[in-house]
Amino acid sequence: MQSSFDWAQRQVRDGILPTAVLGIATSKGISDVAAFGSSGSRVATTGDAYALFSITKPLVGLTALRAVERGLLALDAPLVGAIPGFTSPAVTLTHLLSHTSGVSEPQLDVAEGTRRALVESEQDFTPGTMTRYSTIAFEGVAALVESATGDSLDVNLASLASDAGMPGLTFERDCDPHPVFGAAEQDLDYERFVTLRHPGAGLFATAADLLGLGSALLRNDGAVVHPTTRDAMLRPLTAGLPKLAPYLVERGQDWGLGWNLRHSAPGLLERGVFGHGGWAGTEFWVYPELDLTFVLLTNVAVPGRLGFNADPLFNAVAAGR
């Protein structure tokens, strides 16, 4: 896997990423983790915490699927039953998890808070008829989980973290994460955003945390979700639907229950992969047939504007280089 780590080191050397923590694991556990670069005077180490941004989505999604397994929540449960004041009766858990809810998207650092923003959102299209990436939808997922289980999202995430081997998973910034560079230039009030504890983008974790989850999903032994549930969450739910920006049909992917399925991505050698990326360059992906999972943690807003492209990393990892 040396080529994979060489790739990460080049991203830092070439000034595209300030730091990079790359980790690779199998169903048996972590194979290797390395850290490169620094955030100012702080040198990156393999145990550092980072803001996950949208990798938060499938983690919160897993809490919902675990509630479904327990018979506490239905995939077609309407959101109106969990949030007083929400007025779109057709929006269900499946719509929220698969980015087909049609709920209008507010700013990531929404001033009024995520629950109020969801309640006051408009319906831009009929649920299930199109797909458009949605972060606020996971406030709805969190509400359904809390209503169904009688416990807070934090409690449900703690249970997931315990079963998956993710002791550092948290919404709290006292984990001392690396700063996120360039957020203000991209019109994100990062300080306000952190206070939101956003169910679609607000978690922090280390590489080992995510590799623990990836290994558990590869083992598929029921510790995180039942094998039947893992199969269900990897079924494409948006095939054939009109795909609105930013995830257009040309990207070669669909959404399952909380997961990005890059089944036709033109830049990938191996397309049997599921996972998620994040706004500051974070990546978490699992290859079931190759018995591989990898994590990239980094910390610069929208790194694509700086020339960042993770597909070469996907290819190096998949080829075992």
pLDDT tens by residue, 133-185: 999 999 999 999 999 999 999 999 999 999 999 999 999 999 999 999 999 99
299: domain CATH number is 3.40.710.10
The pLDDT value given to residue 99: 98
Q: Measured between alpha carbons, how far is 57 from 14 in angstroms, rounded to an integer?
A: 30
Tell me the average pLDDT across 253-265: 98
Per the prediction, the chain carries an average pLDDT of 97
Tell me the average pLDDT across 113-136: 97
Domain containing 154 equals 2-318
Phi first, then psi: give them for residue 66, nearest 5 degrees. Answer: -65, -35
Coil, strand or helix at 11: helix
The pLDDT value given to residue 313: 98
Coil, strand or helix at 319: coil
Give the confidence band of 79 by pLDDT, cuts at 50, 70, 90: very high
Give the rounded percent of residues in the chain with a pLDDT score beyond 90: 98
The pLDDT value given to residue 139: 98
Tell me the average pLDDT across 127-138: 98
pLDDT tens by residue, 188-243: 999 999 999 999 999 999 999 999 999 999 999 999 999 999 999 999 999 999 99
Strand partners, 48: none
Predicted TM-score (pTM) above 0.85: yes
Query: Counting beta carbons within 10 angstroms of the beta carbon of residue 96, is it exposed (0 to 12), middle (13 to 18) or buried (19 or more)?
Result: buried
pLDDT tens by residue, 261-271: 999 999 999 99
Coil, strand or helix at 52: coil
Q: Count how many domains the chain has.
A: 1
For the chain, give the longest Cα–Cα distance.
53
Asked whether the predicted pLDDT for residue 321 surpasses 90, the reply is: no
